[in-house]
């Protein structure tokens, strides 16, 4: 696991990435921000009442010297931000709506990212996933050509790394969704120095069973191959075909993937969520994530049960993502 993050840290350049923390008064968040600033990895951007943040930092013995602090209620450029928000929402929010919403730390922080005053955002230690993701979808929005964000986990055990997707967002992805998830997950894999070999998973291998579910995966594969013909991507595979060479040789002898897949696209959120937790709890893999992908700028969601270390690591991932997107 240390190698995974050492590689990402090496890509960061002395704090030139600014990452927003809308939950600055949370002890875990402020502690992680202090470490990130002290290590020279990123410039933390803290949102909230500045006096309260300063008092909390003093209590925790955290230096704020290498950080930026913003109070939504006292922001000098609020008029410009309100105007940008109204324009971005294209008639879905009035100026009055905007002024109310931008008092919310997540909306305010996401606007800082949209207005290029920061490179990414990490939230969720206090807020729900919906509270974190909704402003991102409304303001940052999806990359051109993509329709939905998705959430991946990097599964790590000693020197072995896999990408599992989508394990966090889309309950019942259609074929287009699966294709987008596959291509974006390959990009995420590359960020972690994983040469992507993408397997589209099902309960069927190469037509061994036929149903609406298998046809959806088969069509998703075709779309993904059209979107990114340079990728090594195949399916539909049962998991053992994707990961065991002897099974692949028997069930899919002509596939470019011969039991050596490292990016796994699950056919549903149900399957993905169960799959990563089996690997985590029975296989003793460490699950890093969820990492959201497909947005114009990185916004990542913490668990409300997260630790300071989780905040620290997800901020590093977010900063690295921002460099890939840029």
8 A C-beta contact, residue 43 and residue 13: no
Half-sphere exposure of 286 (CA within 13 A, CB side): 12
**What is the rounded CA–CA span in Å between residue 104 and residue 192?**
33
8 A C-beta contact, residue 148 and residue 295: no
Main-chain dihedrals φ then ψ at residue 105, nearest 5 degrees: -60, -35
**What is the rounded CA–CA span in Å between residue 122 and residue 303?**
11
3-state secondary structure (DSSP) of residue 267: coil
pLDDT for the residue 4? 76
pLDDT tens for the chain, 326 residues: list them.
567 788 888 888 776 899 999 999 999 999 999 999 999 999 999 999 999 999 999 999 999 999 999 999 999 999 999 999 999 999 888 999 999 999 999 999 999 999 999 999 999 989 888 899 999 999 999 999 898 899 999 999 988 999 999 998 999 999 999 999 999 999 999 988 899 999 999 999 999 999 999 999 999 999 999 999 999 999 999 999 999 999 999 999 999 999 999 999 999 999 999 999 999 999 999 888 889 999 999 999 988 888 999 899 999 999 999 988 76
Q: What is the CA radius of gyration of the chain?
A: 21
Helix/strand/coil percent split, the chain, to 5: 45, 15, 35
Q: Is the peptide bond before 290 cis (omega within 30 degrees of 0)?
A: yes
């Amino acid at each position: 696991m240390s190698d995974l993050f050492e590689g990402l840290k090496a890509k960061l350049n002395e704090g030139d990435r600014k990452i927003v923390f809308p939950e600055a008064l949370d002890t875990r968040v402020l502690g992680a921000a202090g470490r990130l600033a002290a290590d020279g990895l990123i410039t933390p951007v803290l949102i909230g009442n500045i006096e309260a943040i300063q008092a909390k930092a003093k209590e925790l013995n955290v230096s704020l010297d290498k950080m930026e602090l913003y109070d939504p209620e006292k922001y000098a450029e609020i008029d410009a931000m309100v105007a940008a928000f109204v324009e971005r929402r294209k008639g879905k929010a009035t100026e009055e709506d905007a002024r109310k919403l931008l008092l919310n730390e997540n909306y305010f922080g996401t606007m800082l990212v949209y207005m290029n005053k920061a490179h990414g955002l990490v939230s969720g230690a206090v807020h729900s996933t919906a509270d974190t993701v909704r402003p991102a979808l409304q303001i940052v929005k999806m990359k051109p050509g993509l329709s939905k964000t998705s959430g991946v986990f990097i599964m790590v055990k000693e020197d072995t790394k896999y990408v599992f997707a989508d394990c966090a967002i889309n309950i019942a992805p259609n074929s287009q969704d699966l294709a987008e998830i596959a291509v974006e997950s390959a990009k995420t894999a590359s960020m972690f120095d994983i040469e992507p070999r993408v397997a589209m998973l099902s309960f069927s291998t190469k037509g061994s069973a036929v149903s609406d579910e298998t046809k959806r995966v088969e069509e998703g594969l075709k779309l993904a191959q059209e979107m990114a013909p340079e990728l090594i991507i195949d399916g539909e595979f049962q998991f053992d075909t994707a990961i065991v060479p002897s099974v692949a040789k028997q069930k899919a002898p002509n596939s470019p993937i011969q039991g050596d897949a490292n990016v796994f696209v699950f056919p549903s959120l149900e399957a993905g969520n169960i799959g990563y937790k089996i690997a985590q709890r029975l296989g003793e893999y460490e699950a890093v994530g969820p990492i959201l992908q497909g947005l114009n700028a990185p916004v990542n969601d913490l668990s409300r049960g997260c630790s300071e270390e989780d905040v620290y690591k997800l901020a590093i991932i977010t900063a690295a993502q921002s460099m890939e997107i840029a």
